[in-house]
Amino acid sequence: MPQSTTGAAGPLTIYRRMQEALFGDSPTLLPAELLAEDIVVETPFSPPGMRRHEGREAWLAFYEARSAVLPVCFDRFRELATHQTDDPEVIVVEYELGGTVTTTGLRASTTLIGVLRVRDGLIKSWREYQDVLAITEALKLTPEDLGGTGTSAP
Q: In the chain, pLDDT over 90 holds for what percent of residues?
A: 54
Task: Identify whether 44 is part of a domain.
Answer: yes
Structural domain boundaries, residue 118: 11-139
Task: Identify whether 6 is part of a domain.
Answer: no
Residue 1 pLDDT > 90, yes or no? no
Q: Tell me, what CATH number does 49's domain have?
A: 3.10.450.50
| More confident position, 2 or 25 | 25
What is the spatial distance between Cα 1 and Cα 87, in angstroms, rounded to a whole number? 11
Task: Identify whether 150 is part of a domain.
Answer: no
pTM > 0.85 = no
Task: Identify whether 64 is part of a domain.
Answer: yes
Whether the CB-CB separation of 37 and 43 falls below 8 Å is answered with no
Task: Identify whether 123 is part of a domain.
Answer: yes
**How many domains does the structure of the chain reveal?**
1
Task: Identify whether 107 is part of a domain.
Answer: yes
Task: Identify whether 41 is part of a domain.
Answer: yes
Q: Which of 53-57, 64-68, 110-114 has the least mean pLDDT?
A: 64-68
**At CB < 8 A and 24+ separation, what contacts does 11-16 make?**
11/88, 11/89, 11/90, 11/91, 11/116, 11/117, 11/118, 12/82, 12/91, 14/116, 14/118, 14/121, 14/122, 14/123, 15/82, 15/91, 15/93, 15/116
pLDDT value of position 4? 44
pLDDT value of position 42? 97
Task: Identify whether 87 is part of a domain.
Answer: yes
Residue 68 is given by DSSP the state T
What is the spatial distance between Cα 37 and Cα 86, in angstroms, rounded to a whole number? 25
| Across 15-39, average pLDDT | 90
